[in-house]
Amino acid sequence: MARTKKASGHGSLLELVTIVAAALGLALGIQAFVVKPFRIPSESMVPTLSVSQRVLVDRVSFRFSDPERGDVVVFKLPRDNKTDYIKRIVGLPGDRIQVKGGLLHINGEPVKRERIEDYVDRDGGTAQRIPQYIETLPNGRKHRIIEHSDREQYDETPIYVVPAGKYFAMGDNRDNSLDSRVPTPNGVGFVPVENLVGRAEFLFFSTNGSARLWEVWKWPTAIRYGRLFDGIE
């Protein structure tokens, strides 16, 4: 009986590895045509996306339609046209964008921001509580943001008028994001439509940080099963 249980456990692990490997293989196999896997490189999109999560990016999404406010997009950094960034579109061509006292303003109107429970950041072994909000854009799209305070470096900006054919992008981690609030050549500046890679649609690999991608033997306890293939709000 002991041998049967051991074989069963080994079979379950092998089956899990096979399924995940097949999913990764499928993603890599079709990326040149439809989707592109993208690894989250920084904390700039917390709480929506965390470091090392993998998302699938729809590469054809903007061939047939324009980006909308609230879309999470991957784009080529305008100053070098090769580094991939991921941010949220908040400003469309012709919009007037400004941040005042930490609050986003679009065309002279403050964007609704509702305080909710704190975001708990456990990186580094100690829990840090950060104020968290639900932000509602003028088109009704809702998403979560975090703000350490409303008095940080980029919480007061001039008015930016978004040029034709360009977009204004910001990270959901408002006090830890290099985005369109910082003009080129040092920052991101406006994002040209031709730099857009695609819309981030859903997560396809997410762990709690205890396993690296190649440490397949740790996947059963590290994978966040509840977040696999979640859509990105």
Of 197, 218, 101, nearest in space to 155 by CA? 101
Is the CB of residue 51 less than 8 Å from the CB of residue 72?
Answer: no
> Which residues are known catalytic residues?
44, 87
3-class DSSP assignment, residue 95: coil
Of 77, 46, 67, nearest in space to 182 by CA? 77
3-class DSSP assignment, residue 135: strand
Is the CB of residue 97 less than 8 Å from the CB of residue 163?
Answer: no
Contact residues for 201 (Cβ-Cβ < 8 A; gap 6+): 35, 55, 56, 57, 58, 61, 231, 232
d(CA 233, CA 163): 26
